[in-house]
Structure formats: structure tokens, C-alpha cells
Amino acid sequence: MGMQGIPSNNDFAHMPWFHYNSGKAAKADIGVTIRLADFLLKHADEGSSIYRKAEGLKERYWQSGKVLLYGYPDYAPEALNVKAYDPATYPSWLPLPVYFVASPESPFYPECRRTVERNLDTIVDSLLEIRELKLPSAGDLEVYEQNTPHPDGRRWCVAEQTIENYYWGSNFIIRDLDILRKFGRLDFDLPVAV
């Protein structure tokens, strides 16, 4: 199902990637889809249509071994071309490959070790640069509104969205500290203002 598969999303302040769209929802969010398919295969009647649909979803996402914390699937390196990771060309909106490997216990870690270490260095460097959560400026939000019109004619960047912006930034910091903990890389001091 995916984040865009919940019709009531449109009743509340949300960003475009949460706007209800049944077509996009059917193709999105592998992590949720795999967990839901696993649940159905465990608890649904084997002769039911929902069970057969869950079997099809598992087959569709066979490349991911398991779903990790934060919803990232533990993908085989070939599926994401992790070994060819280049920070100069890697899209900034994609999670770093380390999140798809997730821990030294992943069966894919040995062959991706070099990429993972580079990613961990990047995470440490970015955390050392944080002095405060950065929120978009009013100008950036206005450009966003103009370039991404709301399907219902409203504005995306309403006051309620501020809470989401703080949550989003905090969630990334917590996620990064968690991944560093798993790889034993918490050996630095965060710049915390007192």
C-alpha cells in the first residue's frame, strides 16, 4: 500500500508525497508492503484471494531479504548497485546505501563494507555540522508552492506543517545515531548547545 494509500491523509496538513493517490500507492513503500504480505501469509486463509495477493507481493519484492528498522528493505547489493556508490552522483533524496545494509550482521555487509564505511563517515560529518534543525525559509516554501501545486487548490506549507518539519529533522538525527550505534561508530562528541 504505501504512504499515498490512505484517503484521510488529504483531510490534514501533509506534504505532496503523503497526498492520497491510489495509483501511486499500489506501487510504493516496499517496507510496508513486505511487512503486510508477511502478516497475511502468516494469518490469512491459504485459499483466500488476499492470501494469493500477498504471495504475489512477496514474489514481486523477492530481492529484499527482510525489512529493517525505519522501513528500509535489506536489499541485495546488486539490486541497488550499492558497490558502485559514488557520493558525487548519488541522488541526495535517496537513503544512503548503509541504511539498506543496516548492520554488520547483514549478509550483504562484507561485500559492501567500503561503501558502508564511506556512508558512516558522511553521517558523522553531517551530525557534527548540526547546530539547530534547519527549516525551509519563507521564500523556499513559496517557490515550492508555485512549482508543486496542491491538487485541491490549497497550500501545502501551512502552519501545521511546522510540527512535521521538526519531527522530520529529529527523526533523521535519531535514525543516524541508531545506525552509527549498530556499527560501533558513536566515538565522537555532538555539538550540543547548552
Grade residue 116 by pLDDT with cuts at 50, 70 and 90: very high
Give tens-digit pLDDT for 79-113.
667 777 888 887 776 778 888 788 898 888 898 89
- Count Cα neighbours of 79 within 13 Å in the Cβ-side half-sphere: 14
Task: Read off φ and ψ for residue 75, nearest 5 degrees.
Answer: -80, 150
* Region of poorest pLDDT, from 55-64, 130-139, 166-175: 55-64
CA distance 22 to 25: 5
Give the global pTM.
0.58
Q: What is the pLDDT of residue 121?
A: 94
Q: What is the pLDDT of residue 1?
A: 46
- What integer best gives the mean pLDDT of the chain? 76
CA distance 22 to 120: 36
Q: What is the pLDDT of residue 80?
A: 64
User: Above pLDDT 70, what percent of the chain?
Assistant: 70
CA distance 144 to 72: 27
Q: What is the pLDDT of residue 26?
A: 65
Q: What is the pLDDT of residue 120?
A: 95
In this predicted structure, the answer to whether residue 179 has a pLDDT above a threshold of 70 is yes
Question: In three state form, how does the secondary structure of the chain look?
Answer: CCHHHCHHHHHCCCCHHHCCCHHHHCCCCHHHHHHHHHHHHHHCCCCCHHHHHHHHHHHHCCCEEEECHHHCEEECHHHHCHHHCCCCCCCCCCCCHHHHHCCCCCCCHHHHHHHHHHHHHHHHHHHHHCCCCCCCCHHHHHHHHHHCCCCCCCCCCCCCHHHHHHHHHHHHHHHHHHHHHHCCCCCCCCCCCC
CA distance 174 to 34: 24
Map out the domains of the chain as residue ranges. 1-62, 78-194
Q: What is the pLDDT of residue 96?
A: 83
Burial 58-75 (b: 16+ CB within 10 A, else e): beebeebeebbeeebbbb
